[in-house]
Amino acid sequence: MSGTVFFRMSITDKWRRGLVSNFEYLMHLNTLSGRSFNDLTQYPVFPFLLADYTSESLDLAAATTFRELSKPMGAQDPDRLQKFLNMYEQTKEMDDPGPYHYGSHYSNTGVVLHFLVRVEPFARFFIEFQDGSFDIPDRSFHSIQQTWRASTFPTARSTRYSRRGGCRPRSRRPTSRS
């Protein structure tokens, strides 16, 4: 493939052909949507793709290994979906802000700091965000598995929905399609 053809192809076509990695594709989409490492309220978003965080090895042929991408995170579990449908019904009569399913946005400063709390300068930002001390340990980041459970099961709190721990500035970039 000539260089001219490569540069004329859309990023989606490059990704579909395996010419750019999943990471590069998601970074491109994040950049197009105005997300940046320079703003914690607009930090790049990397979605949960897997649903299996407990198996010793993953069966990539099994549908249960993967998150249901046709549904938002709040609908991954039927009981959790019902919780958000109830929220919508309860807020229907509100004028401002009007009815809603989720009480917070998936991308906010608290969520970004949740994932990056162990890395400076984010640890310092996290302490400032929590009024001078660390949050209670049960709400602190422990693992992607725990965060998946907290984001998908009905008893989970509403902090949310898209994983940001997959990248931070100066991280090693994947070299193959991942």
Residue range 105-130: mean pLDDT, rounded: 86
Q: What is the CATH number of the domain that holds 104?
A: 1.10.1540.10
Do 109 and 141 share a domain, yes or no?
A: yes
Are the beta carbons of 27 and 166 closer than 8 angstroms?
no
| Maximum Cα–Cα distance across the chain | 59
Q: Are residues 64 and 18 in the same domain?
A: no
Kindly state the percentage of the chain with pLDDT values over 90. Answer: 35
For residue 79, is it within any domain? yes
Instruction: Please indicate, yes or no, whether residues 51 and 66 belong to a single structural domain of this protein.
Output: yes
Q: Is the same domain home to 43 and 124?
A: yes
In angstroms, what CA-CA distances link 168 with 26, 51, 118, 172? 13, 23, 12, 9
Residues 55 and 122 in one domain: yes
Q: Are residues 26 and 45 in the same domain?
A: no
pLDDT of 111 > 80? The answer is yes
Counted domains in the chain: 2
Q: Are residues 76 and 135 in the same domain?
A: yes
pLDDT of residue 178: 44
Q: What is the sign of the dihedral through the CA atoms of 86, 90, 92 and 96? A: negative
Q: Are residues 114 and 97 in the same domain?
A: yes
Mean predicted lDDT score pLDDT of the chain: 82
Q: Are 16 and 82 in a shared domain?
A: no
The mean pLDDT of 128-146, rounded to a whole number, is: 82
pLDDT band at 167 (very low <50, low <70, confident <90, very high): low
| Contact indicator for 120, 173 with CB cutoff of 8 Å | no
Could you give the residue ranges of the DSSP H alpha helices within 9-158?
A: 11-16, 22-32, 78-91, 109-116, 122-129, 144-152
Any domain includes 160: no
- Stretch 84-95: mean pLDDT: 87
Report the half-sphere exposure of 10 (CA within 13 A, side-chain side).
5
User: Is 58 within the bounds of a domain?
Assistant: yes
pLDDT band (50, 70, 90) for residue 54: very high
Q: Enter the tokens of residue 103.
A: 């009480």
Are residues 152 and 80 in contact, defined by beta-carbon separation less than 8 angstroms? yes
pLDDT attached to residue 153: 77
Q: Is there a single domain that holds both residue 64 and residue 125?
A: yes
Burial class of 43 by CB neighbour count within 10 A (0 to 12, 13 to 18, 19+):
buried
pTM: 0.67
* 13 shares a domain with 98: no
Higher pLDDT, 154 or 17: 17
Q: Domain limits at 121?
A: 39-152
Cα 163 from Cα 167, distance rounded (Å)? 9
